[in-house]
């Protein structure tokens, strides 16, 4: 069974109270961007919409075929949400993961940091815990595999490399990615709806700051929208 | 007001949970045995999904500072009120100064206490359920905590006795094939249905680790980050499955080999650590 959502065709799989959508053919929007449109349509009986790069999972209050019809009949405004271009400051701090990064990439840490700064990144998806960002845009030479077992707690605001993704940890959590630095800017506001200030499709460029600037910006307690205003 | 003289092993406030936010990686949370929470609220004279206390493996010691009606359901934590047995599944009238005390559970894992009125705790995205949020809000009740009860109408003395006997020790849990079921070897597919599993003591509200026969992956299996909901059974390379639970993460990189439907998951969440049970393919 197939369903068409905003010019994309999806194969529909039902799993009890879950509806899983896998793309047959897509257009310019990513799955997390299409999933956001389904979520914002607030279809009756839908309790959650979760998206990764390869699947949209719709959790329903109960098994329900009408929800698939509702998704197929969603009307989308012609104007798609324009993606934002945002700057994010990064303080490259000495970290225990530096050695791992140098060993895997055969690059010195300064050259690695410069190469990281040259790229522009796209927010691909959310996941893991609130305010965690999966960003794409690293060339293969900069990829560093995730650790076999997660290390202990890392600081909130840490920016880390996990395989092909650049990640931002908004909360202090155990982490299995390789930390390269940290940002004093918040992208998460847990009490707001939506709780994130950045959305899939937005692009991010990193701006290097030193320790003094890190402390100065931290003291302002800015979020990414204020910082870019 | 209620005062926690002793907090118990892991006590939190839970309701039905928060929905519509898993897109932003905020887990649904909520009662691990929602059916038990609903019954507790019925006994206390509350709306069906009012917030309750959820106790894990061990009850708390609580002093009531006002008269109220309560209901106790779920695991058998051998509750006493001022030293006398306090029965589960029936309304109980408590007076100011009364002390309710629970011990280690002798059957089941999660117990619920509903108190007539509304527990005074913060509302986040439509739910009173506690969740760690990486330490930004309280995750659990601590010894010495006091929780006020907000009542907008006079106490209703309506006694309910559910006269039921619940089996909190399920021997079988139904599951359906997960989206990545076919990454399992043929042996592993058989083994998942034929052999006994136990829930490891290294389990919490985020996930339950299963012990039993290790399940093998087919060679050259590619894995990608995929959505997760409570009840999804993931298979890490170790071969020991993990069941994602109410506070679990919303995406994960391990193959999703099975799915335990919501109402079966409530039964699963009451199986004591170390007890044998079987997964039944349905």
* Predicted local confidence at residue B41, as pLDDT: 98
Closest Cα in chain B to A32: B23
Contacts of A193 in chain B (CB under 8 A): 21, 125
Asked if B136 reaches chain A (Cβ–Cβ under 8 Å), the answer is yes
Gap between the Cα atoms of B155 and B136, Å rounded: 35
* Predicted local confidence at residue A191, as pLDDT: 83
From B32's Cα to the closest Cα of chain A, the distance in A is: 16
- Residue A226's Cα: distance from chain center in Å? 20
B25 → closest Cβ in A39, A130, A172? A130
- Report residue A154's pLDDT band, with 50, 70 and 90 as the boundaries: confident
Q: Which CATH architecture has domain B172-281?
A: Beta Barrel (2.40)
Gap between the Cα atoms of B63 and B97, Å rounded: 6
Domains recognised in chain A with CATH numbers: 2-72 (3.30.1360.40), 85-228 (2.40.100.10)
Over residues A185-207, the pLDDT tens digits come to 999 998 888 999 999 999 999 99
Gap between the Cα atoms of A21 and B260, Å rounded: 19
The CB-based long-range contact list for A174-177 (8 Å cut-off, 24+ gap) reads A174/A150, A175/A150, A175/A151, A176/A146, A176/A147, A176/A149, A176/A150, A176/A151, A177/A146, A177/A147
Tokens representing residue B88 in the block: 């589960």
In contact, B226 and A18? CB cutoff 8 Å: no
Helices (H), chain A: 31-40, 65-72, 98-105, 109-118, 211-220, 224-228
Contacts of A42 in chain B (CB under 8 A): 20
Asked if A36 reaches chain B (Cβ–Cβ under 8 Å), the answer is yes
A59 → closest Cβ in B224, B226, B229? B229
Query: Mean pLDDT over residues B227-241, rounded?
Result: 95
Over residues B40-73, the pLDDT tens digits come to 999 999 999 999 999 999 999 999 999 999 999 9
A172 → closest Cβ in B21, B22, B134? B134
Contact B176 A127 (CB under 8 A): no
Contact A52 B124 (CB under 8 A): no
Q: Which residues contact B170 (CB under 8 A, 6 or more apart)?
A: B267, B268, B270, B271, B277
Element (H, E) at B113: strand B107-115
Maximum Cα interatomic distance, chain A, rounded to a whole number of Å: 58
Asked if B250 reaches chain A (Cβ–Cβ under 8 Å), the answer is yes
* Predicted local confidence at residue A6, as pLDDT: 78
A196 → closest Cβ in B22, B24, B28? B24
Over residues A45-67, the pLDDT tens digits come to 999 999 999 999 999 998 778 99
- Report residue B118's pLDDT band, with 50, 70 and 90 as the boundaries: very high
* Predicted local confidence at residue B137, as pLDDT: 60
The secondary structure of B130-187 as a DSSP string is ---TTTTS--S--TT-EE-EE-SSPPP----B---------SEEEEEE-TTGGGB-HH
Give the mean pLDDT of chain B: 94
Selected residues 88-147 of chain A with any CB under 8 Å from a CB in chain B: 125-132, 134
Of B79, B71, B34, nearest in space to B161 by CA: B71
The secondary structure of B34-103 as a DSSP string is HHHHHHHHHHHT--TT--EEEEESB--EEEESS-EEEEEEEEE---EETTEE--TTB-EEE-TT-EEE--
Tokens representing residue B36 in the block: 């038990």
pLDDT above 60: residue A148: yes
Sorted by where each begins, the domain ranges of chain B are 2-150, 172-281
Contact A50 B176 (CB under 8 A): no
From A16's Cα to the closest Cα of chain B, the distance in A is: 7
Interface pTM (ipTM) of the complex? Answer: 0.93
Query: Mean pLDDT over residues A93-108, rounded?
Result: 92
Contacts of B125 in chain A (CB under 8 A): 193, 195
* Predicted local confidence at residue A78, as pLDDT: 56
């Amino acid at each position: 069974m197939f369903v068409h959502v905003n010019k994309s065709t999806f194969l529909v799989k039902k799993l009890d109270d879950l509806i899983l959508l896998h793309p047959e053919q897509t257009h310019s929007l990513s799955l997390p961007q299409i999933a956001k449109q389904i979520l914002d349509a607030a279809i009756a009986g839908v309790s959650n919409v979760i998206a990764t790069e390869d699947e949209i999972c719709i959790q329903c209050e109960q098994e329900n075929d009408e929800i698939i019809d509702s998704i197929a009949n969603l009307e989308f405004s012609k104007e798609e949400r324009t993606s934002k271009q945002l700057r994010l400051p990064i303080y490259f701090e000495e970290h225990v993961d530096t050695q791992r990064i140098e060993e895997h990439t055969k690059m010195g840490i300064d050259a690695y940091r410069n190469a990281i700064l040259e790229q522009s990144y796209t927010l691909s998806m959310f996941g893991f815990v609130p305010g965690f960002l999966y960003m794409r845009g690293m060339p293969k030479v900069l990829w560093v595999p995730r650790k076999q077992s997660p290390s202990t707690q890392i600081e909130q605001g840490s920016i880390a490399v996990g395989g092909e993704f650049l990640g931002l940890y908004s909360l202090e959590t155990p982490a299995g990615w390789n930390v390269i630095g940290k940002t004093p800017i918040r992208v998460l506001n847990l009490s707001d709806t939506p709780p994130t200030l950045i959305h899939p499709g937005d692009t991010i460029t990193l701006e290097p700051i030193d320790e003094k600037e890190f402390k100065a910006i931290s003291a302002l307690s800015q979020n990414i929208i204020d910082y870019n205003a | 007001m209620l005062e926690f003289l002793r907090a118990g092993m892991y006590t939190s406030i839970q309701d039905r949970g928060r929905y519509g936010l898993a897109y932003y990686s905020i887990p649904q949370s909520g009662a691990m045995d929602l059916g038990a929470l609903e019954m507790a609220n019925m006994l206390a004279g509350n709306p069906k999904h009012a917030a309750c206390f959820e106790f894990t493996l061990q009850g708390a010691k609580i002093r009531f500072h006002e008269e109220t009606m309560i209901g106790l359901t779920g695991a058998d934590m051998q509750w006493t009120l001022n030293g006398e047995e306090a029965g589960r599944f029936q309304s109980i009238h408590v007076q100011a100064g009364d002390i309710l005390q629970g011990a280690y559970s002798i059957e089941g894992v999660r117990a619920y206490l509903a108190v007539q009125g509304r527990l005074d705790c913060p509302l986040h995205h439509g739910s009173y359920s506690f969740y760690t949020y990486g330490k930004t809000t309280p995750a659990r009740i601590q010894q010495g905590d006091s929780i006020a009860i907000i009542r907008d109408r006079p106490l209703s003395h309506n006694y309910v006795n559910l006269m039921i006997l619940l089996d909190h020790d399920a021997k079988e849990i139904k599951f359906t094939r997960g989206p990545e079921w076919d990454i399992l070897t043929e042996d592993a597919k058989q083994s998942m249905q034929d052999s006994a599993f136990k829930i490891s003591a290294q389990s919490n509200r985020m996930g339950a680790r299963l012990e039993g026969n290790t399940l093998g992956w087919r060679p050259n299996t590619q894995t990608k980050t995929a959505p997760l909901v409570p009840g999804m059974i993931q298979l890490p390379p170790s071969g020991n499955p993990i069941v994602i639970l109410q506070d679990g993460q919303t995406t994960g990189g391990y193959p999703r080999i099975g799915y335990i439907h919501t109402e079966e998951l409530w039964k699963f969440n009451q199986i004591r650590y170390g007890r044998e049970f079987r997964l039944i393919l349905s």
